[in-house]
């Protein structure tokens, strides 16, 4: 048995299968915008790992921070604090608009959403939570209850009081014809009011639904959604796990719309590939939660090692003016995708912001018929040619790619990725 065969035999023997099929490549190392398999073949990473390695893999400043910090102070009792934690909290507060000032540092996006929902329920004294029907907020108790894109069947009851509303999907309008997101939003909250028992606590949404198909909320939508929340005494939680920290060409995606949420949650991009997450809220909300005895104690809350990495991430993004760089690179990527759409009938739609772009593949542009098989075939063809692309691996959404290369990606790497995608589409879809 070869080493490759032994590896996959061990996978079959010892690993729990926890989602989509594993990519058939044995990854041995990574650097910059590339991962390398066990034959040292370079694979261009257009997903930034799990949408997280925004500074690329093995960034020298991240490597230095981890090396130095782990040798000095890695982990503490949850009631102890260290300088990196306070520095990162200060940096996040200064990067965000008033009144977002109070920071809780955690490990994962699900954990951050859990903490924000728990606090919202406590300070409002209510329990109902609204989220999009194509949402993904995590796999813990309250987060999974607010997740509707997949994974709900077979696990029994979730937290009571969760209500789904449709996202404004411009390529596939809910009422047909041109999307009328205001009418859709009004209709959605008529249904919310009909279902509510009078205990609406919060609404949690992503500014761009990622796992839901890279659906960018239209300009003005967040403002209107916030007004709906204010009318009902609800708190607005924005999940910016994938859109925060320059990914869209702004430091935070919500800034485009001129709104300020009651909570913002961060994860993925904050740790640049390491497990780090944050909840940021106002001093007023934090004070009320503290008065009521807010409890969210975890093993790795306020850990110094990941906090030090987060500080380095903020340093690099600020020094390199990464928001402006991403705005430029995002235009280059989008223009390249639109050019592919002009030549490939299988590319039905291009959407997104900055370096978070999506393309939706169809077998027929007139009917917009999608195909899980087509998406899988293009994914495999890209990998054979040296490009890792992420198809939304949820039932019925197998034709939607999420494209999220590292923010440090070069022009030549973007062009190479587009060339490989072009070749894969030509090979598979003709």
Active site (annotated) includes residue 402: yes
3-state secondary structure of 429: helix
Indicate which residue of 69, 111, 136, 360 is catalytic: 136
Q: What angle do CA 22, 214, 411 make, to 5 degrees?
A: 80
Active site (annotated) includes residue 6: no
Q: Is 21 exposed, middle or buried (0-12, 13-18, 19+ CB in 10 A)?
A: exposed
Indicate which residue of 114, 128, 239, 286 is catalytic: 239
Active site (annotated) includes residue 341: no
Identify whether the C-beta of residue 56 lies closer than 8 Å to the C-beta of residue 408.
yes
Active site (annotated) includes residue 251: no
Comparing CA positions, the residue from 113, 147, 152, 114 lying closest to residue 130 is 147
CA distances from 138 to 114, 150, 151, 158, 400 (A): 8, 11, 10, 13, 20
Indicate which residue of 268, 334, 351, 353 is catalytic: 268
How many angstroms separate the CA atoms of 371 and 17, rounded?
A: 24
Indicate which residue of 102, 228, 334, 402 is catalytic: 402
Residue 285, both tokens: 């909300």
Indicate which residue of 128, 206, 216, 349 is catalytic: 206
Helices (H), 96-153: 109-124, 141-145
Residue 354, both tokens: 């900055």
Active site (annotated) includes residue 136: yes
Active site (annotated) includes residue 37: no
Residue 131, both tokens: 């989220």
> What percent of the residues of the chain are helix, what percent strand, and what percent coil, each to the nearest 5?
40, 20, 40
Q: What residues are labeled active site?
A: 136, 206, 239, 242, 268, 402
């Amino acid at each position: 048995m070869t080493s490759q065969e032994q590896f996959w035999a061990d996978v079959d023997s010892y690993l729990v299968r926890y989602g989509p099929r594993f990519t058939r490549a044995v990854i041995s190392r990574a650097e910059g915008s590339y991962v390398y398999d066990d034959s040292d073949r370079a694979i261009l990473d257009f997903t930034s790992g799990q949408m997280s390695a925004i500074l690329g893999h093995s960034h020298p400043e991240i490597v230095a921070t981890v090396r130095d910090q782990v040798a000095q102070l890695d982990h503490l009792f949850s009631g102890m604090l260290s300088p990196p934690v306070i520095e990162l909290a200060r940096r996040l507060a200064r990067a965000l608009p008033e009144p977002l000032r109070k920071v809780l540092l955690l490990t994962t996006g699900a954990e951050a959403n859990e903490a924000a929902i728990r606090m919202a329920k406590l300070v409002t004294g209510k329990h109902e939570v609204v989220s999009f029907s194509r949402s993904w907020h995590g796999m813990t108790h309250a987060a999974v209850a607010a997740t509707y894109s997949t994974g709900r069947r077979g696990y029994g009851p979730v937290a009571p009081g969760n209500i789904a509303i449709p996202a404004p999907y411009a390529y596939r309008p809910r009422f047909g014809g041109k999307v009328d997101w205001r009418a859709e939003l009004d209709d959605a909250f008529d249904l919310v009011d009909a279902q509510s028992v009078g205990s609406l606590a919060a609404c949690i949404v992503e500014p761009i639904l990622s796992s839901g198909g890279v659906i960018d909320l239209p300009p003005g939508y967040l403002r209107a959604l916030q007004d709906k929340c204010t009318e009902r005494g609800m708190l607005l939680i924005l999940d910016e796990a994938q859109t925060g920290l320059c990914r869209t060409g702004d430091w935070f995606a919500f800034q485009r719309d001129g709104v300020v949420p009651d909570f913002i949650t961060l994860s993925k991009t904050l740790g640049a590939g390491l497990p780090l997450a944050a909840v940021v809220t106002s001093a007023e909300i934090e004070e009320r939660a503290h008065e009521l005895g807010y409890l969210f104690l975890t093993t790795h809350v306020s850990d110094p090692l990941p906090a030090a990495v987060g500080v380095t991430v903020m340093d690099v993004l600020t020094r390199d003016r990464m928001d402006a760089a991403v705005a430029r690179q995002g235009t280059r990527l989008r223009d390249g995708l639109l050019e592919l759409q002009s030549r490939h009938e299988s590319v039905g739609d291009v959407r997104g912001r900055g370096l978070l772009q999506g393309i939706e593949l169809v077998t027929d542009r007139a009917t917009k018929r999608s195909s899980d098989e087509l998406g899988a075939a293009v994914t495999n063809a890209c990998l054979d040619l040296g490009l890792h692309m992420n198809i939304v691996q949820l039932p019925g959404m197998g034709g939607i790619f999420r494209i999220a290369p590292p923010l440090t990606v070069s022009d030549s790497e973007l062009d190479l990725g587009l060339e490989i995608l072009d070749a894969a589409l030509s090979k598979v879809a003709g």
